[in-house]
Amino acid sequence: MSEWLVLAAAMAAACAVVLVVVVLRHRRLNRAEESVDPSETPDVLEYMTMMVGVVYAIVLGLAIAGVWEARSAAQDDVRREAQALHEITQRAKVYPPEVQDQLHKNVNAYVSHVVHHEWPRMIDSNELTGRGDLLLDTVRAGIAERVPANELESHAYQPLVDQVAVASDARNARESHAGETLPGVVWFGLITGALVTVGLIFTLQIQRSPRELLLAGLFSALIAFLLFLVWDFDAPFGRSGTDSAEAFHQLFGGALGQQG
């Protein structure tokens, strides 16, 4: 299901629930021939409603900031890994053509596997593949096991080894960010807080006027939208597809197009 469809369904459901409850409540009061006077709402109840809303807004804001920071850190690791591999292909120009071709082949094989095979598994199962480790080891061996043939190759050897280490470290960091950021207890608090905050609307004795119904619906839709943001950002690499692998597509677009 598309993320936009999930958002639309959540906001529509939130609005519908609030509006239906308000309408049914007033129908019950009308059948019982009871009148509702909004001025009878105790001041302390209005104050408590306001305080609960403020506290929940702070908690929700902290949750959004936390998942956004985690997503940004994950994307930084992806860019670091892609850039390190790109540097390997560029610095390899000091080697003979046959060595360059082999290094390019090894790097492109690793990148193609990461984007086309490892990325979907990372999103679905929150883990990387053993095949990816083997392909990165092949890149490392192709550099480390070759004795430099001249001074120029000697100068390029250590930077190439360092770039492989950077790529490996970024890969490990990518694995650590593969899972969701927020634990279940935080989600329990966010959902419970949303229900309490929206539920407090009914303690204010809102009427069935179009203005009050509109405000109640918009408020509940806003809560649903913010919870959707937290849910969407809680997956550092997205919920589906390989859009989060944009750094690999930018630096290895030709290789991915040929091997995809």
Tell whether the model's pLDDT for residue 260 goes beyond 50: no
Averaged pLDDT for residues 219-241:
86
Integer Cα distance of 101 and 171 in angstroms: 24
Say if CB 227 and CB 191 are below 8 A apart. Answer: yes
Question: What mean pLDDT is predicted for residues 177-194?
Answer: 89
Contact of 193 with 218, CB cutoff 8 Å:
no
pLDDT on residue 199: 81
Closest CA to 188 of 238, 230, 129: 230
Give the residue among 188, 194, 193, 186 at the shortest CA–CA distance from 18: 194
Amino acid occupying residue 155: H
pLDDT at 28: 66
Question: H-helix or E-strand containing 41?
Answer: none
Q: Which residue has the tokens 């408020």?
A: 219
pLDDT at 32 (0 to 100): 55
State the pLDDT at residue 88. Answer: 93
| pLDDT at 145 (0 to 100) | 86
**What is the pLDDT, as a whole number, of residue 106?**
94
Q: Which amino acid is at 91?
A: R
Q: Hunting for tokens 């609307």 — which residue is that? A: 201
Q: What average pLDDT does this structure show over 215-234?
A: 87
* Alpha-carbon gap, residue 162 to 166, rounded angstroms: 6
User: How do the domains of the chain map onto residue ranges?
Assistant: 74-178+240-260
Q: Are 87 and 163 in contact (CB under 8 A)?
A: yes
Confidence of residue 109 (pLDDT cuts 50, 70, 90): very high
pLDDT greater than 50 at residue 71? yes
Between residues 176 and 20, the one the model is more confident about: 176
pLDDT: is 13 or 96 the higher one?
Answer: 96
Q: Is the per-residue pLDDT at 237 higher than 90?
A: no
Note the pLDDT tens digit of each residue in 113-148.
999 999 999 988 888 999 999 999 999 999 988 888
- Mind listing the pLDDT tens digit for each residue in 10-62? 778 777 777 777 677 666 656 655 555 555 556 667 777 788 889 999 999 99
121 in Cβ contact with 128 (< 8 Å):
yes
Largest Cα–Cα separation, the chain: 98
The pLDDT of residue 208 is: 61
Find, among 80, 97, 100, 98, the residue nearest to 89 by Cα: 100
What is the average pLDDT across 57-86? 93
Which of 29 and 242 is assigned the larger pLDDT?
A: 242
